[in-house]
Structures are given as C-alpha cells and as structure tokens.
C-alpha cells in the first residue's frame, strides 16, 4: 500500500510539473498511462506478496502438523519397543507351557499389526515430508529405521516361540512315551505279583 501511495504522490507531482510547463496533452496522457500501469503493477505485486505469505503460513502449519505426527509415531514406536521387550522378558522367564506360547504369539501378532499401522502412517508422513522439509525427512528416516529394527525383533521372537512350541511338543511326546512304558511295566509287575501269589 505504501508503494501505491508513493506512486500516487509521484503522479500528482508529475501532473503539477506538467501543468507548470504546459506540455502537450499527448505527453501528459502517456505519463498518466505509465503511472496507472505502475499503480496496477504495484497492486499486483502486493496481491502476490499476500498470497505468498498465506502459502508460507499454510506450509508452516503443515510442518507443525507433520512434526506432531512424527512425535506421536515416535511415541508409538517406543511403546511397541517396550512391548517387544516385555514379550522377550516374558518369553525368557516363562516356562515351556502352551498358554505362555499362545500369549506370546498374540502379543507378537498385535505388535506386528501396530508396526504395520505405524509403518503405513510413517510412509504417508514421509511422502508429505519430502515435499516440505528435508530435516523432517531425515527424522522420519530415522524413525523408519527404528521401525525396521522392531520388525526384525518381532520376527526373531516369533521364531523363538515356534522353537519353544517344537520343544514343548517333543517333551509332550516323551512324556506320553514314558507314560506308556510306565503302564506296560506296571502291568508286567502286576502280572508277576499275581503269578507269585498263585504259587
């Protein structure tokens, strides 16, 4: 607006000078047209400036929103890592019973679902982040790397659960074989006792 005022002042000044020298009317018309064009350009530049300021404000808001989403996802990732650590502790401390193995499988499945959801959200944020801010992009890459590490840990725990289930199945089979041998030995012993009593 100040530029417009300056142009108007200059225009008035020019008109005064033109009147003082009584220039030909063609020159005066040309000067007025030039001044009008300058005012129009100044107004157009002012409008573009306001539009760019609005775009910058929107981008700042979008960056703030993405930073918040990244911090939330980082918190979710930390929770998932804590849950994985808890699942690992439970697996190491637990016995080889079927109920603990099933519990671990449920936890791993839930963690994988959470990781998949967090991974999807992070990828969406990454796509927006690349367009807005390289610093946020770097932060998102670090979070993505941590998600991959958690995914690898989840697969590791799943393999351990499968191994524990196989060991449990082997122990159950050995137990059944021992029970069968015990019953057979008891039957033989009962027959022997009965035969001895019959003598």
25-71: per-residue pLDDT in tens?
Answer: 677 777 788 878 888 888 888 999 899 999 999 988 988 887 787 67
- Distance between first and last Cα of the chain: 128
Helix pair angle (98-132, 25-93), 10° resolution: 170
What's the burial of 90, exposed, middle or buried (CB within 10 Å: 0-12/13-18/19+)? middle
In this prediction, what percent of the chain has a pLDDT beyond 70?
Answer: 67
Segments making up each domain of the chain, as ranges: 2-198
DSSP state of 1: -
pLDDT in tens, 143-173: 778 778 877 887 888 888 888 888 888 888 8
**Mean pLDDT across the chain:** 75
Domain 2-198 has CATH 1.20.58: yes
By C-alpha distance, which of 64, 67, 46, 44 is closest to 56? 64
CA angle at residue 94 from 93 to 99, to 5 degrees? 160
139-143, Cβ contacts within 8 angstroms, sequence gap of 24 or more: 139/70, 140/70, 143/70, 143/73, 143/74, 143/77
pLDDT of 116 strictly over 70? yes
Q: Considering all CA atoms of the chain, what is the largest pairwise distance in Å, rounded to the nearest integer?
A: 157
Highest mean pLDDT among 93-97, 114-118, 145-149, 164-168 belongs to 164-168
């Amino acid at each position: 607006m100040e530029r417009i005022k300056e142009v108007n002042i200059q225009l008035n000044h020019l008109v005064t000078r033109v009147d003082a020298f009584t220039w030909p009317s063609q020159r005066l018309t040309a000067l007025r047209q030039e001044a009008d064009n300058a005012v129009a350009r100044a107004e157009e530049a002012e409008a573009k400036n306001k539009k760019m300021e609005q775009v910058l404000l929107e981008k700042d808001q979008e960056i703030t929103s993405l930073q918040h989403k990244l911090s939330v996802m980082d918190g979710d990732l930390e929770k998932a890592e804590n849950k994985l650590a808890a699942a690992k502790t439970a697996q190491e401390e637990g016995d080889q019973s079927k109920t603990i193995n099933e519990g671990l499988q449920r936890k791993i499945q839930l963690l994988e679902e959470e990781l998949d959801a967090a991974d999807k959200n992070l990828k969406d944020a990454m796509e927006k982040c690349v367009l807005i801010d390289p610093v946020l992009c770097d932060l998102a890459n670090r979070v993505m790397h941590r998600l991959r590490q958690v995914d690898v840990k989840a697969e590791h725990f799943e393999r351990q659960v499968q191994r524990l289930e196989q060991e449990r199945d082997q122990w159950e089979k050995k137990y059944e074989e021992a029970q069968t041998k015990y019953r057979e030995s008891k039957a033989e012993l009962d027959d022997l006792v009965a035969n001895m009593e019959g003598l």
